[in-house]
Amino acid sequence: LTLAVPVGPIALICIHRTVSDGRLHGILSGMGVATSDSFYAAITVLGLTFISGVIISQQYLFRFLAGIVLILVGIRIFMSVPLCVSIKTVHETYLKDYLSMVAIAIANPLTLIFFLIMLPGFGIVIDCTSFVSAAEFVAGVFFGSTVWWIILCGAIGSVRTHLGGETLRLINRVSGLLISCCGAGMLIL
């Protein structure tokens, strides 16, 4: 939950998909994020220093790619017409929602850095971790994150039909701007 709960650009994309396309689109997008979080948890806990070293050594490339993608996604959301105002009723496929969030979240090496910093604080010693306890930890990351996305997207999906066109337009503008700013921040830092 420590990793999944903070609202950043990836969470805003999931929230936007929930509001515009429905709770299942948001939940599956969130599960894509949970999958990439679990991938990074596995790398960290299993102590695959070569893989984590490559990712960290190439973090500027990953950050650049993630920054560009976030800027483009932010612009697309900012410019989008809310569903209740638009005549367009075609939604992305559930698989595309899932895979696109896996790709966006996996391109964020900050998740790996988060695990490298936070795990010692939780008392997890990477070098002495057994395979079973590592698998339990990775499963816990996945299921904890998945539960968070189900709760968040389920709650947002419950109120989405009560949101008017102007409110949805404002949500699109604000979230698109925030996502693009986060992407620009990744390019600058």
Question: Token pair of 189, please?
Answer: 């830092």
Record the tokens describing residue 26, joined without a space.
């948001």
pLDDT at 4: 67
Q: Among residues of the chain, what percentage have pLDDT more than 90? A: 14
| Mean pLDDT, residues 9-17 | 85
Distance CA 106, CA 29 (A): 13
- Whether 163 and 176 have beta carbons less than 8 Å apart is answered as no
For residue 90, what pLDDT is reported? 61
Say which residue, 92 or 26, is predicted with more confidence.
Answer: 26
What would the pLDDT profile of 90-136 be if each residue is shown by its tens digit?
667 899 999 999 988 888 777 776 776 666 555 555 555 567 777 88
To the nearest 10°, the Cα dihedral for 84, 85, 91, 96? -110
123: left (phi over 0), alpha (psi -120 to 50) or beta: left
pLDDT at res. 112: 72
What's the pLDDT score for residue 87?
Answer: 42
Helix 9-21 / helix 59-79 crossing angle, nearest 10 deg: 30
Say how far apart CA 17 and CA 32 lie, in whole Å: 13
Query: Helices marked H in the chain — which ranges?
Result: 9-21, 23-45, 49-57, 59-79, 94-106, 110-121, 131-159, 165-188
Q: Supply the pLDDT for residue 85.
A: 41
Cα separation, 68 vs 66, in Å, equals 6
- For residues 73 and 180, give the distance between their C-alpha atoms in angstroms, rounded to a whole number: 7
* CA distance linking residue 116 with residue 124, whole number of Å: 10
Residue 157: strand, helix, or coil: helix
Which pLDDT score, from 0 to 100, does residue 108 have?
74
User: What is residue 50's predicted lDDT score, i.e. its pLDDT?
Assistant: 59
Structure-token pair, residue 84: 């209740």
Instruction: Quote the longest CA-to-CA distance of the chain.
Output: 57
**Residues 40-72: pLDDT tens digits?**
888 877 765 556 566 667 777 877 887 887 788
Q: Which of 18-22, 62-66, 78-82, 112-116 has the lowest mean pLDDT?
A: 112-116
Question: 35-44, 110-119, 147-156: which range is least confident on average?
Answer: 110-119
pTM: 0.70
